[in-house]
Structure formats: C-alpha cells, structure tokens
Amino acid sequence: MLILRSSAFEPDAPIPARHTCDGSDLSPPLAWSGAPPETRSFALIVDDPDAPDPDAPKRIWVHWLLYNMPAAQLSLPEGAGNHDMAPAGEHARTDANRLGYHGPCPPVGRHRYFFRLAALDSPLPALGPRARRADLERAMEGHVVATAVLMGTYARPGR
C-alpha cells in the first residue's frame, strides 16, 4: 500500500505557515513508501478543491504538478518545488500559470490541500512547459498502479 507523509504536518492537520504565502512559500518535505514492484515513475498533483471559498467552492485550484520522478526516488526535500527544480522530475503548469510549487493562500476560510501521489508503471512522455493538469492526467491514464493522498488544511490569519 502506497503511503504519503510529510514531516511538516500530520494528515488532516494544518499546514505550517512556512509552506504558504504567509511564510516562505516553500514546498513541504514529502516522503512515501509501499510502492508496488511494477512502479517505474511517480507523479504528484497538489490541489485545493475549496477555491475560492469553502462555503461556495467554484473550482479546484492546482498548486503543483510534478511527474516523471524515478521509481527509486522516495522523497522530496523541503523547497524541492521552489528551485529549478525538484531533485528529479518534470513540472507542468499550475493554475498560477507557472512551474513549480505555490503554496496555500486562501482568500477566505479554511481550505483543504490534497497532495496526490501516483505510482506509474512507466515514465510519461515529456509534456512540455505549457502542459496543465488535464494533460498530465491524460498521459497518466492506464498507467496508475497505486495512489496515496495526504491532506492538510490552511486558513490565513485574520480571514
């Protein structure tokens, strides 16, 4: 069973401000285990289904897309999504229209942030710098052998 964890926050718990727009906006450290033997690569999708308001969500906001991490890679250090770029893997474009991680910055209320890791049975073709979530999900179709989800929450101070 594929398991995804972060040393920065517990499952279903608040994400520290360090990993948000109210702090350093660094991607949190992530580690995983339990990938099936047929795993050849990993893909990560981080999103917020509560945008813009958890009481009236209108869209799912994508915060980070990373794919083609090799099967031997079992973690991402803090800040891996903020530099050029992760230890290994390719980025697709987020809803902030950029590559890499941009952390929680909800305009109102407490939002949920889902870190979704997929173990894939092959590397994916390069999608190019304009690729979005839909492109990544299409490329992943038929290749997902396991998934893991880590959810954290965040509410901006005073909002």
Q: What is the pLDDT of residues 43-71, one digit of tens each?
A: 999 999 999 999 999 999 999 999 999 99
- The residue ranges of every structural domain in the chain are 3-56+69-154
pTM: 0.96
Residues 119 and 77: their CA atoms lie apart, in Å, by 18
Domain at 3-56+69-154, CATH class: alpha beta
Q: What is the pLDDT of residues 21-43, one digit of tens each?
A: 999 999 999 999 999 999 999 99
